[in-house]
Structure 1
Amino acid sequence: MQRYFVPAEQFAANTVTIKDDDAHHIVKVMRQKIDDEIIVSNGNGHTVLAKISHIEGKEVTATIQYELEDKTEANVEVWVAQSLPKGDKCETIVQKCTELGADKIIPFQSVRTIVQYDQKKMHKRLERWRKIAKEAAEQAHRDVIPEVTEIYSWKQILSIASEADLAMICYEKEDAVGIKDALQRISLSAAVGESEKKKILIIIGPEGGFTEEEASQAEMEGCTSIHLGKRILRTETAGMVALSCIYYETGEMGGK
């Protein structure tokens, strides 16, 4: 069943209104009609099954049948910090990390980042990435749309490491640990009475990797240097592999 994300203000007590591109998709692409059912979410965990009751112009009104209880979000909160790759690779990274379950995607610039955007181009790129995240979240039947942040500096990335219960940087060095070993260093289960999920930050470098100085700076801020196996992964692959490992080890994909 098709899922749509709409702003919270478009929810009323018993109805929800879908507008613009999503309304066009319902009527012109999916060819849905009165009494057809759709899933609608406010992007923040409130997801309902609704029945189309009115179609007019670029607006579709649906009557809420009931709230869906089967939640699709993981039991840990994962942030993927990704150094900007060349070309359109970031679109793939945003799409696939959203499908897998990332809660936040943080593009950033590091020493070996080649890509440089001016303000106008950066705004367009962010707009595009956020649209991709929304569409990927709908396709994956997620309850939330991951946040795609503004482009961070390396200094800003270091500053958020302390906000995570576990911060990891993908950096190939002799004493780097496997991601499984790093995850075992903390308890990823919420303590009794805690409602907040544990936060994990994974930091991925650019095509040329991190410098030794960057890796040292990250470790000084509490990040654990990890590897993702014996093979060298492309920057656009590393985040997907890391997310898969995290979700497996935390029971999301049948591990533990």
Structure 2
Amino acid sequence: MMRFFTQQPLTLGARVTLEPALQKHAIKVLRLAEGAQFELADDRQHAFVATIQTTAPLVVSVDTPITRVVELPVCTRLICGVPKGDKADWIVQKATELGASQITFFNSQWATAKWKAERVAKKLTRLQAIAQGAAEQSHRDRIPTVSFARLADLTLEEGQVGLIAYEEAAKAGEAATLVQTIAKQPQALACVFGPEGGISPEEVTALTARGFIPAGLGPRIMRTETAPLYLLSAISALTELQEI
């Protein structure tokens, strides 16, 4: 069953008129008709099975609640150096499928690619749309927020643990920090990843001064688009699969 997101608040038993963009996609593109059902989630992470009552406008009845847990137990923010080409698209799509709650990009000192200020808004609009599509495909309860920030402005929020996926830590054999961090069951985690050129020592120093901890992600050196996905997969294995 397909899933869509709406900005309308959903309550059991309500009849809701959905947005024109959603109506166009569901009715004109997918050719759904009266009586068809799909999953519908709002921005409060409430999800229901909805039934189409009318198609123009698209009015649905909010029927059965969906209660299965699909979000990562650790609210995870990825902070990624701007990569080359279309790798940001890949990171956003796959990280959304793997459960990231926020994805932030930054212009890194050693990066071979940087985003110009006048192009950031357009890029974020595109990436946010990719995140929504991936969240619908993977039946998430929330759409990750995609943003852009200066590394100098990044700080940890209360209750948030900060890590730096640092190549030099991995080369030195550091292999315990990630597992030990997740074992403490943090409410939220933020992890910084360097771009293709790597994260500079100056950037690492600045981040550690703000509470971020360098961590290795295993003995192999991963590409900039691979490391965030490894982190999310490791968090899932360590928190969601332990009872199986």
TM > 0.5 between the two? yes
Which residue of 2 is the match for residue 153 of structure 1? 150
Cα pair distance change 1:176/1:152, threshold 3 Å: farther
Shift of 1:10: 7.8
TM (norm. structure 1) is: 0.86
Cα pair distance change 1:66/1:188, threshold 3 Å: farther
- Structure 1 residue aligned with 2:230, among 230, 236, 241? 241
Which residue of 2 is the match for residue 116 of structure 1? 114
Which residue of 2 is the match for residue 169 of structure 1? 164
Amino acid at match of 2:238: E
Unpaired runs of 5+ residues, structure 1, are 190-196
Which residue of 1 is the match for residue 180 of structure 2? 184
Q: What is the aligned-residue RMSD (CA, Å)? A: 2.2
**2:55 counterpart of 1:66:** no
Cα pair distance change 1:120/1:212, threshold 3 Å: closer
Amino acid at match of 1:177: E
Deviates more, 1:61-70 or 1:21-30: 21-30
Which residue of 2 is the match for residue 192 of structure 1? none
Taking the aligned partners of 1:129 and 1:185, their CA distance within structure 2 comes to 29
Kept after mapping to 1: 8 A contact 2:82/2:107: yes
Deviates more, 1:9-18 or 1:135-144: 9-18
Taking the aligned partners of 1:232 and 1:221, their CA distance within structure 2 comes to 25
Which residue of 2 is the match for residue 87 of structure 1? 85
User: 1:24-63 counterparts in 2 under 5 A?
Assistant: 24-56=24-56, 59-63=57-61
Unpaired runs of 5+ residues, structure 2, are none
Taking the aligned partners of 1:219 and 1:255, their CA distance within structure 2 comes to 34
Secondary structure of the 1:173 match is helix
Cα pair distance change 1:247/1:10, threshold 3 Å: closer
Query: Any idea what the Cα deviations from partners look like across 1:116-138, whole Å, max 9, x if unmatched?
Result: 33344211100000001111000
Taking the aligned partners of 1:206 and 1:255, their CA distance within structure 2 comes to 35
TM (norm. structure 2) is: 0.90
Shift of 1:187: 5.0
Identity over aligned pairs, percent? 31
Cα pair distance change 1:185/1:98, threshold 3 Å: closer
Kept after mapping to 2: 8 A contact 1:182/1:224: no
Amino acid at match of 2:160: D
